[in-house]
Structure 1
Amino acid sequence: MALDGITLHAIIKELKEEIIGGRIDKIYQPEKEELIFIIRNKGKNYKLLLSAN
């Protein structure tokens, strides 16, 4: 997936609104090049998938 400026701006905006100020509850590594962060903020859990693939 190509990331242009508009897409990157939308991703940053959503992350700021949802997970800034939260705390990392758990980290999973389902694959060699993937991490899943469970982040708790404002009484809700969020999953953030980071992939180096």
Structure 2
Amino acid sequence: MTTSTSASVHARSLHESSENVNAESLALQACDDIDNLQVARLACACLENSSLRNM
């Protein structure tokens, strides 16, 4: 393998690694967002139930 070919392969693997890290980061953020939405939904349901009991 020539030096330029080796450098190209190395640069490509770094780029793919960076893409993997970005994809993993986005996936983790999506999971956190879903968890936060579920917590907010449960909080709203509790508030609705509480207000219905106070009527």
Would the TM-score normalized by the shorter structure come out above 0.5? no
Q: Which has the higher contact order (CA 8 A, sep 6+)?
A: 1
TM-score when scaled to structure 1? 0.33
Task: Flag the structure with higher helix content.
Answer: 2
TM-score when scaled to structure 2? 0.32
Q: Which structure's CA Rg is the greater one?
A: 2
